């Protein structure tokens, strides 16, 4: 009876056995998400810079024409 109880204690718990896999999956998905988010934010920043340059050029055209 004691041998059977010890044998049952040695079995890995299901939650702790799956935990490292879940942590690795979470880390991998979060790394991919942050990479996508960084690429998207760089793209948005580039579009914002282009838009700002376009507006500054329009503003300088108004200043050159003496409308402002």
- For the chain, how many structural domains are there in total? 1
- Total number of residues shown for the chain: 68
At 3-61, the pLDDT tens digits run 555 555 555 555 555 667 777 888 888 877 777 778 888 888 898 999 998 888 888 87
What's the token pair of residue 46?
A: 């580039």
| pLDDT value of position 24 | 80
Residue 33 belongs to some domain of the structure:
yes
Q: Is residue 36 part of a domain?
A: yes
- The rounded distance, in Å, linking the Cα atoms of 41 and 43 is 5
Sign of CA dihedral 50, 52, 58, 61: negative
* Residue 21 placed within a domain: yes
Domain assignment of residue 41, given as a range: 17-65
Is residue 6 in a domain?
Answer: no
Q: Does residue 37 form part of some domain?
A: yes
pTM value is 0.39
């Amino acid at each position: 009876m004691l041998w059977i109880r010890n044998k049952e204690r040695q079995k890995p718990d299901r939650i702790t056995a799956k935990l490292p896999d879940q942590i690795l999956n979470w880390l991998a998905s979060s790394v991919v998400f942050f990479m996508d988010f960084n690429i998207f934010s760089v793209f948005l920043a580039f579009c914002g810079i282009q838009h700002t340059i376009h507006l500054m050029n329009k503003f300088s055209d108004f200043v050159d024409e003496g409308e402002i």
